[in-house]
Structure 1
Amino acid sequence: MELLFALTLLAGLYMAWNIGANDAANSMATSYGSKALTLKQVIVVGSIMEFCGAFFFGHRVTHTIAKGIVPIELLDQHLVVVGALSALLSASLFITVATYFQLPVSTSHSIVAAMLGFGLATASQGRLDIDQINWGVMGKIVLSWVISPIFGALLAFIIFTIIRLTLFDRFDIDVVENVFRYLQVGTACYVAFAHGSNDVANATGPIAAALGYLGQETPVWVLLIGGLGISIGFATWGYRVIETVGRRITELTPTRGFSAEFATATTVLLASYLGMPISTTHTLVGSVIGVGLAGGLASVNLKIVQRIVASWVLTVPVACVLSIAIYTILVIFI
């Protein structure tokens, strides 16, 4: 059992590293795309703020991932640990492949689908009734996945439109953009903090489940592992996805980057407060598309958007099936 706990902690750290490499990176990509921050500055600022968000505000969503989907209190502790390990490994492997191909996939979708796969696998073995899976919570999570990019896009569209109508018509555009270059440093910190607060749960939730955590208070050291893993992933491999989101969807100026980041961070932080594991990736990409549409549909690279959306569609079934397969294998041999 101690070996299983150790493997789960390592898998959680690996998952946190993946979150930093893929999800956290794209949360700061707009600052790089608008040239408000250099790549090195993005990595330093992002790593610090991601850690702070994860450590100080990450406990609410951890609870949802830990026991909101699969009623772990009804299962043998050994199976819970195996299931948590399976979920972490399957989600992590999928995200690693996506990051390699520079695709900004959702780590939230990955881990939620993987935890669902764990639940379905136990149900297939007769250890859990399928209707005991918290389908109501799953429904709310899936609904939040749909709402968050739309809300982010709408909010970013409105913010950028207000900036364009109130400032561009009164002042020199270059002067306005230069001012927002500095303001965007603030929103970059805001979005990184918000992302850490929400998406750290994708790593810490299964760890908390494996430890038998059932209450609202997540152990501090669990959040510490998550925060450190995200920061390391951001610093070591985050540049791959930063390029896709920051440069390839639409041309980003400081005012557009500010609008997208502010909209994303506000949406994600609100979701963290409500304990909902939404997709920062979807929200940010939706926000970037929103500011792009404010300049006309022609300014959005639809081919890149289609490629990103295709990877989103694949996330849930692939992570779910992979989790079922890994769980089935581990139960046999461990």
Structure 2
Amino acid sequence: MNNVTKTLLGAGFAVAVAVFVQMSFGAMPNSGFLVMAAVFGAYMAMNIGANDVANNVGPAVGSGALTIGGAIVIASIFEASGALIAGGDVVKTIKKGIIDPAAFSGDPMIFVYAMSAALLSAALWLTLATYLKAPVSTTHSIVGGVMGAGIAAAGFAVVSWGTLGKIVSSWVISPIMGGVIAALFLYVIKSEILYKDNRLQAAKRMVPILVAIMSTAFITYLTIKGLKHVWGSITALLPFIPQTDKPTFGVALSFGLVGGFITYFYLRPRISQRVEKLEDNRTDLNKLFTIPLIFAAALLSFAHGANDVANAIGPLAAIYDAIANTQVSTQASIPLWVMIVGGVGISVGLALFGPRLIKTVGSEITELDQMRAFSIMMAAAITVVIASQLGLPVSSTHIALGGVFGVGFLREWLERNDMNEQRLKIKTHIDRLHELRDQLHNTSKGEKKLKLEAKITEEKARLKATKKELKESYVKRGMVSKIIAAWIITVPAAAVLSAIVFYLLKGIGA
């Protein structure tokens, strides 16, 4: 399917949303702005599917545990399910409290212009980032959009700079935590399985433990992030658990530990049987991690759908609430049609445009196999759990990419002493440099000295190029630099775009 066909199909979804909204709410005052906002919301949802979902399934695809087609099917089902089942019925109208609602002076139409501008600007930025193969945070995109519109409406004083500071700090905290935890798990796998004399026996002992830890982490993660919007309904069904508005860390961890113990005792005999049929090589050992990776991709997608669908439907629900009730609220109920636009839009965007970023995350930063991908998925869940407990601001996108970086850099560090072909080239260049320097030291003739200095310069250039080639074989430095630059630019880029769109919409509505 070529890009033109994909674009037309995406546009078709947006048009279908517009037709539905016009037919359902055409009699409302300012219904034209609601139709426009619904199109922007559908566009934003598709961009979330195209860009953000790659973090959940990219490692599984890159490792070969899933095909791109399989990943798209699984992620589409679980993203939509997470949005529709656990997405909640109420959403904050101002994402992350980045600006004060009083900035809109109680004027619902100014609020409508601002939220519409935030949606469109965030979506446009995500489209550009996807085109550039840069996975970025959709939450940061919408925060930047809301901030830019708020500044355009009421000046810089309305911005909560402390909140913005937390977001900026997440640019550092998220990838470092994700990278360290992913590298730690990969090191454990290498030291406790791959570096053992009898790797099959080691796998028989360690794989059930590792998968049980993964189960604990994911159930805890899913409870904290994926069920928080429907926790009231769960506590009503389970009166013996603490009756709180959101799941506490203790309850979530308890669920996780129970799931982990069940997973361990269920898997231990089955892993033992499976190991008996495997050869003692890395390819066969990798197979033990395939099914856990598929479950991880599904669970991450469910939690993402439940949690991050608000980036698309939050502003849309807020716009609908403001137009229907002619007032600005800090919270808005989510109509079913709005949730469907978000959930289906994410799946449509993933199916049409997701493969581009899935390939980037899965194979264009560092080479992944199932063990490395398993470590990254573990880091994605555990980092969010730890950060939630410590109150640290983190981004799931930055965590996942940090995990990919961490795995790549650990490989580079562990294998730095392996005398492979490239390292032999480096040794040859270094030996040649020493030889030329010795000749230069023992030469007094001017012309010969100049020739030797030129040869030394050439040899240094060759050595530098070979070292760069070696580093790039583990982690693509250019890709890492591009992604980090996109992270830093996301909030200000979305803010500037949003301010421009706000003034355009305000002019149209005047």
Q: Where in structure 2 are the equivalents of 1:76-225 lying within 5 Å? A: 76-124=107-155, 130-168=156-194, 169=196, 170-171=199-200, 172=280, 173-210=282-319, 211-212=321-322, 213-215=329-331, 218-225=334-341
Between 104-113 and 14-23, the greater mean CA deviation after superposition: 104-113
| Deviation for aligned residue 1:216 | 7.5
Partner of 1:310: 485
Closer/same/farther in 2, CA of residues 111 and 19 from structure 1, 3 Å limit: same
| Deviation for aligned residue 1:158 | 1.6
Counterpart CA distance in 1 for 2:388 and 2:32 is 32
Render the CA deviation track for 1:61-88: whole Å, top value 9, x for unaligned: 9527447222235521111111011011
Give the structure-1-normalised TM-score.
0.89
Where 2:64 maps in the other structure, the secondary structure is coil
Render the CA deviation track for 1:12-70: whole Å, top value 9, x for unaligned: 11100000011112321111100100111010001111122233344499527447222
Closer/same/farther in 2, CA of residues 17 and 272 from structure 1, 3 Å limit: farther
Amino acid of the residue matched to residue 146 of structure 2? M
Counterpart CA distance in 1 for 2:347 and 2:391 is 22
Contact 2:60 2:370 in 1 (8 A): yes
Where 1:55 maps in the other structure, the secondary structure is helix
Counterpart CA distance in 2 for 1:271 and 1:289 is 19
Closer/same/farther in 2, CA of residues 77 and 47 from structure 1, 3 Å limit: same
| Deviation for aligned residue 1:222 | 2.9
Between 234-243 and 307-316, the greater mean CA deviation after superposition: 307-316
Q: Where in structure 2 are the equivalents of 1:26-105 lying within 5 Å? A: 26-59=55-88, 62-63=91-92, 65-66=94-95, 68-72=97-101, 75=104, 76-105=107-136
Where 2:411 maps in the other structure, the secondary structure is coil
Render the CA deviation track for 1:170-191: whole Å, top value 9, x for unaligned: 3333332111122211111122
| Deviation for aligned residue 1:329 | 1.4
Between 165-174 and 274-283, the greater mean CA deviation after superposition: 274-283
| Deviation for aligned residue 1:200 | 1.4
Residue 14 (1) aligns with residue 130 (2):
no
Render the CA deviation track for 1:206-249: whole Å, top value 9, x for unaligned: 12332245338644443332111111100111011111111111
Where 2:331 maps in the other structure, the secondary structure is coil
Amino acid of the residue matched to residue 192 of structure 2? T
Render the CA deviation track for 1:276-315: whole Å, top value 9, x for unaligned: 9853321211011111122125421112111211222222
Counterpart CA distance in 1 for 2:332 and 2:39 is 23
Amino acid of the residue matched to residue 77 of structure 1? P
Counterpart CA distance in 1 for 2:350 and 2:392 is 23
| Deviation for aligned residue 1:108 | 1.8
Counterpart CA distance in 1 for 2:493 and 2:307 is 22
Amino acid of the residue matched to residue 157 of structure 1? A
Residue 320 (1) aligns with residue 351 (2):
no
Partner of 1:290: 406
Partner of 1:243: 359
Amino acid of the residue matched to residue 298 of structure 2? C
Identity %, equivalent residues: 43
| Deviation for aligned residue 1:136 | 3.0
Between 165-174 and 311-320, the greater mean CA deviation after superposition: 165-174
Between 304-313 and 274-283, the greater mean CA deviation after superposition: 274-283
Between 110-119 and 260-269, the greater mean CA deviation after superposition: 260-269
Closer/same/farther in 2, CA of residues 232 and 277 from structure 1, 3 Å limit: farther
Contact 2:170 2:394 in 1 (8 A): yes
| Deviation for aligned residue 1:270 | 7.1
Amino acid of the residue matched to residue 138 of structure 1? L
Where 1:252 maps in the other structure, the secondary structure is coil
Amino acid of the residue matched to residue 302 of structure 2? F
Where 1:249 maps in the other structure, the secondary structure is coil
Counterpart CA distance in 2 for 1:221 and 1:232 is 16
| Deviation for aligned residue 1:195 | 2.3
Closer/same/farther in 2, CA of residues 69 and 208 from structure 1, 3 Å limit: farther
Between 149-158 and 38-47, the greater mean CA deviation after superposition: 149-158
Q: Give the CA RMSD over aligned residues.
A: 2.6
Counterpart CA distance in 2 for 1:264 and 1:65 is 26
Residue 227 (1) aligns with residue 343 (2):
yes
Q: Where in structure 2 are the equivalents of 1:274-289 lying within 5 Å? A: 278-289=394-405
Closer/same/farther in 2, CA of residues 260 and 15 from structure 1, 3 Å limit: same
Where 1:251 maps in the other structure, the secondary structure is coil
Partner of 1:127: none
Between 91-100 and 13-22, the greater mean CA deviation after superposition: 91-100
Contact 2:151 2:158 in 1 (8 A): no
Residue 23 (1) aligns with residue 86 (2):
no
Larger Rg: 2
Amino acid of the residue matched to residue 140 of structure 1? K
Contact 1:198 1:269 in 2 (8 A): no
Matched length: 329
Counterpart CA distance in 2 for 1:282 and 1:178 is 28
Where 1:10 maps in the other structure, the secondary structure is helix
Amino acid of the residue matched to residue 42 of structure 2? L
